[in-house]
Chains A and B, each alone.
Chain A
Amino acid sequence: MLFPTVTFALFFAVVLPLNWLFMPRPARWKIFILAASYFFYGYWDPIFILLLAGSSVFNWTMGAVIHQAQADLVRRTWLAMAVIGNLGLLCYFKYYDFFLSSATNLLDRVGIGISPQIVAITLPIGISFFTFQALSYVIDIYRGSTEPVRLMDFAVFLSFFPHLVAGPIVRASEFLPQLKERHDPRRIDATRAFFLIFIGLFKKVVIANFLATEIVDSVFGSPNQHSALENLVAIYAYAVQIYADFSGYTDIAIGLALLLGFRFPLNFDGPYTATSMQDFWRRWHMTLSRWLRDYLYIPLGGNRGSGGATYRNLMITMLLGGLWHGAAWSFVAWGAIHGGFLSLEHWRRSLRVARGEAEPADTVVTRTARRILTFHVVCFAWVFFRAENFQTAYDVLGRLVSGWGNPSPLVTRSVLLVIALGIGTQYVPKDVLGRVMATFSRFSPVAQGVALGFVLLLIDTLGPSGVAPFIYFQF
């Protein structure tokens, strides 16, 4: 069930009032919201409800036995089993065919021919997200930072439908305490929720879909048939498209959760205003970068060891972060580019510290230069992320050199305007939106509804027909 559809609107129109009717009785509410979430998930393929339920039971059991075990070795053993179980499930569904065909072709090149059984496994939607959430629960129990909860509470946490299929990656420590809170049905932050939902819809339906259909898909489909300018603008357009697509989804998810009485962490914070790659990762898919930092980078040693160890840890983290996105070498290359530039930044910083040099002056000029540089490094990496294979990525980049002087019919004023809108709005100060929301919250419910109805008019009329799946659904 996609968020920007009539089907989901009907689903939510039923769930929202029932949610608040059941809320005073937590036991019944949990059964209700679990059933609603399973219905939402099973709408794609009911068989995968078993997978979600199985993951809930497995991880809850692992959390319980780790908590009960006394000896450190036993606790570690159970933790290892939990990690292997979760990653094994992920590998089977997501990477089995990829590794098998890669290995087959590699062996073939060295003269060893094998004919493995390639089974074309269907990837359950959202598996990367709920697997990481489940792992955070088990690891936090192992670390002693989270207490085990009842199976029903854990199942609700893992399957809560607003975050189920494409994040944000909510941790147990952020969600489970909210199950114990008293949710007051008279104090809902509805204005913020409605703004998030409608801004998210606009980003997805209008901006992301428009750029995809007007330029990105055509250029990345056959880069050599397009001019250098078209290739360049298509790269910028894809940067805006993926931001609008993914942040639009999480905006909607956070807004829906707010209407149901739950708070989710932010996932995006103006990523294209970043002044460095490190800053970018503090603003882009923040819940994933936090997860990778706390459950992979720091356990690997983080930046506590020598310079070499830090670079190794950064590269491992970003390579695996790339592979998390999809079973293809181009995602690994995307991770390698980010890891490489993060290492470069770290090296420059270390060098400066070793020489006793001061931080460079933070002026408007230097900040602007850093933002432009960071944005272009990110765009360079997006080329590999978007391209279907390395050849296409090389074609796109090569065309930037060789394709000048040709006509560029796809570079229209509308495309440039939407790209400028997608980047420019990230620079709007937060208090401006805060003031607008404060004013809106003082309108009567009827006036709010009419205003939002007109926003729906804009979204539906400006958006291309049909709803493309969210890019991050495939991850």
Chain B
Amino acid sequence: MKKILYIFTTCILVLGSCKKLDEKIYSSVDSDTFIKTEKDAISQLYGAYSYLSTYNGFKSLTTYPIIYAGDDVMTSGGVAGAFPTRALAASHAYFVGPWTTFYQTIENANAMMQAVQKADGLSTTFRNRIMGELYFLRGFSYFYLVRLYGGVPIHTEPTTGSSDFYPKRNTVEEVYALIISDLKKASNACLPYSKQQGSEFGRATKGAAQAMLSLVYLTQGNYLDLKPSTIPSAASYENAKLYADSVITSNEYTLLPNYASLFDVEQEKNAYKEVIFGIQFARDPLTASANARGSELAHYLQPATRPFICGNVTNGVGGALLKVQPWFYDECTTGDYLNDYRSDVSFLTKWSNSLTNRNYITYPLKKNVAADIVESYPYINKYQDPKGLQARNNENDLFIIRLAEVYLIKAEAENELNGPTADAYSAFNKLRERARLANGTARTTPANLTTGLGKAEFRLRIFKERGLELVGEGHRFFDYVRMRYIDNVRTMAQYRFEEYYPGLALKTAPVYNTATNVWGGGRVNPTNIAAFSKKFLLFPIPSTEVDANPNLGVQNPDW
């Protein structure tokens, strides 16, 4: 018996227990010990940037709601159609997507800040620079969050099993304080654009941090004015001007002489002479559709009857998801903007389908021949990529901030501080000057803005100038909830829905009368109009956050 037990025990010892209970995961790396060289740190940094170009991010779910939320475009059908009137639940992916993207960027920045500081084998200079870019990513993310959702929970440490998962909303003021502190750190630590190596192109620069800071301060000033707050807004505007000037005088960036070349996908790198920060996309041969790192703009913004305009495998036609409101088109092509080169570049009102040999026109064009096909709404024409790989896998970048906007920030901050001074006019007219250069054949329009405007009137001109200059680039929503109307009390948004739309003569789409060859009807897509509600000013906190976080606090007004 003893012998048997002895054999039995030996068997166990020999055959079993000598194995250790160690777990092996071959396909992941441990976060704590990953960074061993500078190269490792760079790949982790790329990871932190990567969320911005994901499907949840600016590839799709973050860009589209921001564009749809503006009043300049029209959408119809399905979710896109419901967006302008905000007839969507807080659970919708368009509210969850941006939230997730920015918080994932923040988490990866936080985690890497800790890892970089712990890692050996990194030089101090290198470490500081990486830290600068991580601060930029965090500040940048919170800036989008605060503008889209208002006060949001602040996380400045990586999440671990012992974190407090259920923080309450921080105040808007607290969020701004963090954004400003982060972006200032970034502006101190990031390299200037001109000092970046070629391979670093696209990563955050000193200029990017400063340009964002100028917009942050401007937005903060507007916020304080609108609230109204006991804190004076002047300091914010001063800083907005300061950082805008800093970018302008750095001479790192210049306005491209030809506005159209900004959007030429074949010379995208050249655009970054003007573009200070952009979300880069690349035709992604290894992943398709939602997971690809290619962009979708060229597909969704182009007509479904225009072949070879994007990577769509079905003849390269667009998706026609997004069109331009006719009244906005009118605003951008009449008055000051009559014969403005920027409108020629930005809008599409006629095209031909080489496959069917049919010509298409939209408002306000008229048929040349009876066979032309008429559509009511013009399209945005900024994004084209015939070499794209699939519908949702094109090269076009999304520009976040470019020098043209910085001039307008400067003009606006100056106007808010001192009214329309010569400085303000001068900054403003930079854009008109460039527009007149057109494609090399100079035009006389748009004329410089003539002096003598009141402060509120000048602000309105800036709003309109931004509307045309930056159309389709994801700014309109932020502009019209940020800026005040002439009455200095209401936002532009509130004015639009309370006054502008109700005042329109016909609240219908333009209708083409084939017999008389004349456009009749109204100038607006009626389904995009609703009574004003505070839900137009902020997105709702996504239900995934509200449902899971009992401490969060109140939902945004009217949601």
> Do A and B belong to a common assembly?
no
